[in-house]
Structure 1
Amino acid sequence: MRIFKILNNNAVVVYDGPQEKIVMGKGIAFQKKRNDIVPKHKIEKIFLLRDQSSEKFQQLLSTLPEKHIEVAERIISHAEGYLEAPLNDHIHIALTDHLSFALERLEQGFPIQNKLTNEIKFLYKKEFEVGMWAKGEIKRELGVEVPMDEVAHIALHVHTAKMDTPSMSESLQTATILRDFVEQVEAIAGLTIEDTSINYQRLITHLRFALNRVAEGSNFEPIDEDMLALIRTKYKEAYETSDKVAGYLKEEYGIDFPDSEIAYIALHIQRLLNVN
C-alpha cells in the first residue's frame, strides 16, 4: 500500500486497489510523503469508511490534536477488549470528536454536566467501567481530571457503538425516563431515594424490563385479582404513588402500563417507603 494522503503523523490515506482506506499506527507517516510505501510493521488499524464517514474521519484526523486522537483510540481498543465485542466503526468519529471537544472545555475551565450520570452508571455498568478506565488513562496521558459526568458520556458512546444496540437517542430516552420516574416517585411520596441502595437498583431493573416490554409489544405478567386488591388496600400510599407516576409516563411519553404492572411497581415503592 502506498500513501495517498498524510492526515497526521499517525494516520494516512491509502488506496488498496479501488478501495480508499485510512491506516493508523504510531509514527506511520514520520518522514514520509505521498506515494511512499506504508511500513507494514507500523500498521495498527485499518479503516474502510465510505462516503461522508470517510471525509469526516479524515477531517478529524487532520485537525484535532494528535494526543486527543491517540487517547480516544486507546479507549476504543480497551473497550473492545474489555467488552469482548467489536464496536461500530463510527465510534472512531463520534467518540474522538466528542472527547476532543470535552477535553478542550475542561482545559479551559468549563464544566462538563450530565444529568443522567446515575442512570447511565446503573444501566450500562461495563461501559461505565470502560469510562472509568478512560478517566485514569486521560489523567495519566494528558494530565486532565475528567469528572464523573464525562465518564458517563464516554460510557454512552461505547454502549451505542456496540452492534445491535439502540441508538444514542434511544439510550438517552431510556435513561431520561428512568430519571423522571424516580424524581416523580420522590416528589409524590416525599422520598429521598439513594441511588446506591439495593431497593433503588431493584426498582430501576424492574422498570427497565417493563419499558422493554412496552417497546417490544410483549405481554406483561398477569396478577391475581385478589392480590391486586390486597396491594391496593394494604399498600395504599405506594399504589397511589405508582398509579400517579404511571399516569405521568403515559402523558409525557405515551407509555401505558396495565394495572398488574402498576401493582408490581407499587411493591418496589413500598420497599422504599419502609426504609424512609
Structure 2
Amino acid sequence: MRVLKILNNNYLLVEDENSREQIVMGKGLRFCNEAGKELKGGNIQKVFLLKDKKAVRDWEQMLENVPESYAEAIHLAISLADEAMPGTISEQVFITLFDHLVFALERLEKHVVLQNRLLWEVRQFYQKEFSLGMKMIHYLNQKLGVELPEEEAGNIAFHLVNAQTENPDMERTMLAVRMLKDISNIVCFTFPGKIKTDSIHYSRFVTHIQFFLQRVLEHKMLSGNDLAIFEQIVVQSPESYSCANKIGNYIKGSLEVDISREELLYLTIHISRIIM
C-alpha cells in the first residue's frame, strides 16, 4: 500500500495495489510513514475501504479541524467499543460516532448540555451498550481532564444500538427505544406486582422485544402456519395471550401494522414466563 496523505497522528489515507483508496487506523502511524511512500508500521488496528470520493472528503473534513488531543482520545475510546463489540463498528458508524464525540466535547467547552430524554430507557433496556458508553465517557474524562455527563453515555449507547441493526437508522432506533418502554409498561400494568425485572426471564423478555421491534420496523416479522401449537398456547396461557394482544393493538395503533400470529405466539410464551 502507498501512503497518499497523512490525516493526523493515527489516520492515513492510502492506496492499495488495485488503486482503491482506504483509511488505515493505528496509533502513531504518522511517525513512521511519509506521503508518497509505501506504508510502514505493524500497529495497524483497522482498515476502512472507501467507496467513493465523498467518503474521502468525509474523513478529511472530520479530522482537519479536530485538536490532535481530541482525535487521539476519541480514537482510543471508540477502540474500546470496537474491541467489546467486534464487527459492529463499520466505517459509517465510526465516522458518525467520532463526529458525535467531537461535538460533545465542543458543547462541553461552551457549557451547553443537551438532555437525553430517553436516558432512563437506554440505561434500563440496553445495559450492555450503556455500560460501554459509560466506559468510553470515563476514559475521555480521564484522558482529557473533562467532565462529560452521563447523558453522553446514553447518546453513545444509541449509536451502538443503531450499529447492530441491519440498516442503521438513528430515528428508527430512538422510536424502538420508546416503544420498548411502552411495551414494558403494558406488561407491568397488566400484571401489577407480578413482574420481577431483575429475573433472567425478564432479561430474556426484553431481548426478545428488542429483536421483535427490529423485525417489525424492518417489515421482517416471523411467519408460520402451526395452528395447533398456537391454539395450545392460547388455551394454556389466556392472560398472557390477552396481554400479547394488547401489545399487538399498540403496534397497530402506532405503526398501522398487524403483527403476525407467529410473533403473537412468541410474545405470549415470553410473557407467560415472566409472570410465573
Deviates more, 1:137-146 or 1:83-92: 83-92
Matched, 1:248 2:274: no
Rounded to whole Å, the distance in 2 between the matches of 1:12 and 1:247 is 52
Q: Counterparts in 2 of 1:1-276, with a 5 A limit?
A: 4-16=4-16, 18-29=19-30, 35=36, 37=37, 40-41=40-41, 44-45=44-45, 46-49=47-50, 50-85=52-87, 87-121=89-123, 124-161=126-163, 165-169=166-170, 170-185=172-187, 189=190, 197-198=198-199, 200-208=202-210, 210-211=212-213, 215-219=219-223, 222-224=229-231, 228=234, 231-232=237-238, 235=239, 242-253=244-255, 254-256=257-259, 258=261, 260=265, 263-264=268-269, 267=272, 270=275
Rounded to whole Å, the distance in 1 between the matches of 2:248 and 2:60 is 47
| CA gap 1:139/1:230 in 2 versus in 1, 3 angstroms | same
Structure 1 residue 60: deviation in Å?
0.6
Structure 1 residue 43: deviation in Å?
5.7
Structure 1 residue 152: deviation in Å?
2.9
Q: Write out per-residue CA displacement over residues 37-62 of structure 1, whole angstroms, 9 at most, x where no aligned residue.
A: 47723863554323211110111111
Rounded to whole Å, the distance in 1 between the matches of 2:77 and 2:139 is 8
Rounded to whole Å, the distance in 1 between the matches of 2:125 and 2:167 is 13
Asked whether the equivalents of residues 2 and 14 of structure 1 are also in contact (C-alpha less than 8 Å), the reply is: yes
TM-score, structure 1 as length reference: 0.71
Q: Write out per-residue CA displacement over residues 195-230 of structure 1, whole angstroms, 9 at most, x where no aligned residue.
A: 9532653542343454466543323784446x6357
Rounded to whole Å, the distance in 2 between the matches of 1:190 and 1:89 is 44
| CA gap 1:84/1:200 in 2 versus in 1, 3 angstroms | same
Question: In the alignment, residue 256 of structure 1 is paired with which amino acid?
Answer: I
Structure 1 residue 154: deviation in Å?
1.8
Rounded to whole Å, the distance in 1 between the matches of 2:246 and 2:203 is 21
Structure 1 residue 156: deviation in Å?
3.4
Question: In the alignment, residue 109 of structure 2 is paired with which amino acid?
Answer: E
Q: Write out per-residue CA displacement over residues 75-110 of structure 1, whole angstroms, 9 at most, x where no aligned residue.
A: 332223223436312233111101111222233333
| CA gap 1:231/1:51 in 2 versus in 1, 3 angstroms | same
Residue aligned with 1:41, SS: coil
Rounded to whole Å, the distance in 1 between the matches of 2:211 and 2:22 is 41
| CA gap 1:73/1:108 in 2 versus in 1, 3 angstroms | same
TM-align CA RMSD? 4.1
**Is the radius of gyration larger for structure 1 or structure 2?**
1
Rounded to whole Å, the distance in 1 between the matches of 2:104 and 2:175 is 22
Question: In the alignment, residue 58 of structure 2 is paired with which amino acid?
Answer: K
Rounded to whole Å, the distance in 1 between the matches of 2:204 and 2:24 is 46
Residue aligned with 1:57, SS: helix
Rounded to whole Å, the distance in 2 between the matches of 1:134 and 1:165 is 24
TM-score, structure 2 as length reference: 0.71
Match of 1:274 in 2: none
Asked whether the equivalents of residues 80 and 87 of structure 1 are also in contact (C-alpha less than 8 Å), the reply is: yes
Rounded to whole Å, the distance in 1 between the matches of 2:166 and 2:124 is 17
